[in-house]
Amino acid sequence: MNSLYVLDLIGTFVFAISGTRAAADKNMDLFGAAFIGFTTALGGGTIRDILLGTQPVNWFYDETYLWVILSAVIFTYLFNSLTHKLKATLFLFDTIGLGVFTIIGIEKSINLGITPPYALIMGMVSAVVGGIIRDTFCNEIPLIFRKEIYATACLIGGSVLLILTQFYQINNIASYILAILIVLAIRIAAIKWELKLPTLN
């Protein structure tokens, strides 16, 4: 769990950077950037906790999240050009964060007695809803509704985790690493081969 916590904080940091940069692109000020940074980083887990009814929401019990997010906002303001150069690194950590948030959402839901199909949805919600709120506040149609294999990667990685833990009782760090690697592989494959989900029209 300890390594999952470290990865969770890294994901939180990178998600907060993504929120801060989206806000800056819309000419928001420091407060707007910090607010969007917070909601991007904590929004998914917050909505998960609210749907499950496990409030006060998880981050109230750990100020580390607060300082990690504020650090990410300040880091982005101070080293903005650096965050553009670190594109590949941020993509890597963003995807790891995506996988870790999915795992944490699934585990928490299963422990509360939620059935696997809804637990899978809750894992995906934990991972992607922060970005949906970010784009909504930025007055954009959420990116993940339009392109990128993003939520789909979470759903497939989460499904593998659920199969391993529910059918084979393999519930350890190896299953976590496998789920994260699947999310990472699908995202890289989607970019390399320009994979897209079908649209109706």
81 near a second copy (CB under 8 A): no
- CA separation for the pair 189, 137 (Å, rounded): 30
**Nearer residue to a second copy within complex by CB, 11 or 21:** 21
Cβ atoms of 106 and 135 within 8 Å: the answer is no
**Nearer residue to a second copy within complex by CB, 114 or 178:** 114
Contact residue for a second copy among 4, 10, 28, 188 (CB under 8 A):
28
Shortest Å distance, C-beta 89 to a second copy: 20
- CA separation for the pair 105, 125 (Å, rounded): 8
Q: Number of residues in contact with a second copy, rule: CB under 8 A?
A: 56
- CA separation for the pair 178, 184 (Å, rounded): 10
Residues 112-141, mask of contacts with a second copy (x by CB under 8 A): x-xx-xx--x----------x---xxxxxx
User: Which range in 8-16, 75-83, 91-99, 178-186 contacts a second copy by CB under 8 A?
Assistant: 75-83
User: Which range in 50-58, 84-92, 93-101, 158-166 contacts a second copy by CB under 8 A?
Assistant: 50-58
Helices 2-25 & 87-111, crossing angle to 10 degrees?
120
201 near a second copy (CB under 8 A): yes
Q: What is the DSSP letter of 169?
A: -
Torsion of the alpha carbons at 186, 138, 7 and 173, rounded to the nearest 10: -40
**Nearer residue to a second copy within complex by CB, 169 or 199:** 199
Q: In the structure encoding, which two tokens stand for residue 177, read together?
A: 């690493």
Read off φ and ψ for residue 96, nearest 5 degrees.
Answer: -60, -45
**Nearer residue to a second copy within complex by CB, 78 or 88:** 78
The DSSP code sequence of 40-85 is: HHHHHHHHHHHHHT-PSPGGGG-THHHHHHHHHHHHHHHSHHHHHH
User: Which range in 8-16, 43-51, 91-99, 157-165 contacts a second copy by CB under 8 A?
Assistant: 43-51
Q: In the structure encoding, which two tokens stand for residue 70, read together?
A: 């504020």
Contact residue for a second copy among 4, 24, 160, 188 (CB under 8 A):
24
Bond prior to 56 in cis (omega within 30° of 0): yes
| Interface positions with a second copy (CB under 8 A) | 20-21, 23-33, 35-36, 46, 50-53, 55-57, 59-60, 63, 66, 76-77, 80, 112, 114-115, 117-118, 121, 132, 136-142, 144-147, 151-152, 196-201
